[in-house]
Structures are given as structure tokens and as C-alpha cells.
Structure 1
Amino acid sequence: MTETHNDEIVRRELDTDIEEPAIGIAEVVAELEGISVTELPATYNCIDGMLSELYSNPPEPEAQMTVEFTYGGYRITVEQSGTAEFIRVS
């Protein structure tokens, strides 16, 4: 995974081919917080299926689809390309 720090923004390239992409989000948040992924709330409570659909049935590249949500104290923006931004909000 690629990581870039720009003030409080962390950018990562997510694997768009994994079966459960929300798990990748949880793993990044756990790493940023220095905790185990099991200490975070279940991803199905906030992003169930959204990312799977974005990657398994993506719109045309011209659509530049993004999904934005809050999880584990981070505002997360995920692009259909797999680029994700994590901004600490709490």
C-alpha cells in the first residue's frame, strides 16, 4: 500500500480485487490508531456492501465515482480507482 501524509490526511491505495474491501478500510484505520482491527466497530454497521459494489460493478471511469463516510474516527473518501483518503475527525 502507498501512504502519503499531508497534514492530517493519509492517502492509501486499496486493493480493489479483494472480496471484502471494507476489511481493508478497517485494517488501515487500525494501523493508523495503533490498535487491533478487532477493537474497531464492525464495518457492516456503516459501509456494508458499498465498496464491494463500487469495485465489482463500477461505473464508467468518466463518472469518477467516490464514496465518503465516517468510520473509526476518520472521514474516509474512497475513489473507484482504489485511492482512499483518511482524515481524523475525532
Structure 2
Amino acid sequence: MEKLPPHDIDAEEAVIGSLLIDGTAIYKIATSLEKEHFYHEQNQWLYGACLSLYQRPEPAAINQITVAQELDRQGKLEACGGAAYLSH
């Protein structure tokens, strides 16, 4: 039996939710938290979209709308649960 790495879906969702509420929080965690640190692929994509917005030459605001647009641009919005998932 293969052992699962430690993970906590609630903690992952709390990080994503915090970023959607306060997009400036990305400045505090972007250098130490990578998308691969998330266990759930959906959360990797969500955090990856936030990082993409942050890493632009002129960083974009991070909020439900811009993250949904970035996920759509990457072709991952529906796989992440759609725009409605970001607002729950």
C-alpha cells in the first residue's frame, strides 16, 4: 500500500480563499509557497493562476474575477469547478 503524503484540504482552501479575499496576501507567500505544495490538483491550478497574475510584468489584481479569467485563459476554469466554485 502506497502511503499518501500529508495534506489538508481545509488548509489548502483557506489559503486560496484568503488570496481571493485579499489579493495582496500573495506578496507574503509567493516566494515560499509553490503550487506543487498543494496536494489537490484543483488547488494547484487555482494557486497557479494566482501566481501567474502576480508574476506578470505589471501584476494584475488577484480576485475572483481575475483568477476565473486566468483559469479560463489556461483552459482550466471548468476543471476547477467554474466561476461559481470561486465564490463559495
TM-score by length of 1: 0.31
Structure showing greater relative contact order (alpha-carbon pairs closer than 8 Å, 6 or more residues apart): 1
TM-score by length of 2: 0.31
